[in-house]
Amino acid sequence: MEALGGYPTKSSASRAKLLKILLSVALCMGSLYLIQIKVSKSRKPKDFYSYEVKDARGKTVSLGKYRGKASLVVNVASGSELTELNYRSLQELHRELGTSHFNVLAFPCSQYGDTESGTSREIEAFARSNYGVTFPIFSKIKIMGSEAEPAFKFITDSIQRIPKWNFWKFLVNSEGQVVNFWKPEEPIEEIRKEVTTLVRNIILKKRQEL
């Protein structure tokens, strides 16, 4: 409604001023949201060692402690037909090459049949007592679906494949990038050759930097 002479009333002028303020606030909020998204993207982990995971006791562990080393990341299980062969061969590899420059990193997963039904602590105790395992065994995780462990999802996204069964093995270099992977049926001898070469290169690089 306008006053006589075509001039706006005080009420309409106040509304226009309020709308202008609300529009400015909305624009500011939108800008802040876009900045937040940009910052979040820039902080997204760019390598395996940038993530944190839980150990078998539920304590948060930074994978950054393994940076500068080679890692063989494995989705393990206690009740698989592949358990004994793999645990023994992985422990042998860990003992031969670790732990100054190499580690086996085990992630139990219960998404492959009824092959990993225990708690994380039970899984760790089983591997230690039955196979003398000394490499790190982390908390039981999911690999498939929306609840997939972020650190392991980084690995599967890197190779564009998801394990179809237990004991897939993923070789991560000293910078935290996935450089190769093996299915469970592939012989440990082939894996040992490539892991040994990677470890040797890491040692040579460190010597050159001294």
- DSSP codes joined into one string, 120-151: HHHHHHHHHHHH---S-BB--B--SSTT--HH
Distance between CA 88 and CA 90 in Å, rounded? 6
Mean predicted lDDT score pLDDT of the chain: 88
Neighbouring residues of 101: CB distance < 8 A, sequence distance ≥ 6: 69, 70, 199, 202, 203
Residue 5 has pLDDT above 90, yes or no: no
The pTM of the full predicted model, rounded to 2 decimals, is 0.79
Question: Which tens digits make up the pLDDT trace of 126-149?
Answer: 999 999 999 999 999 999 999 999
Q: What angle do CA 39, 23, 38 make, to 5 degrees?
A: 10
Q: What angle do CA 94, 97, 98 make, to 5 degrees?
A: 65
Distance between CA 168 and CA 75 in Å, rounded? 6
C-alpha distances out from residue 183 to 79, 84, 173, Å: 18, 16, 18
pLDDT of residue 39: 44
Question: Which tens digits make up the pLDDT trace of 65-110?
Answer: 999 999 999 999 999 999 999 999 999 999 999 899 999 999 999 9
pLDDT of residue 2: 46
What ranges in the chain are assigned the alpha helix state H?
A: 10-43, 83-97, 120-131, 150-159, 188-209
Neighbouring residues of 52: CB distance < 8 A, sequence distance ≥ 6: 60, 61, 62, 63, 151
Q: Which is the CATH superfamily of the domain at 48-209?
A: Glutaredoxin (3.40.30.10)
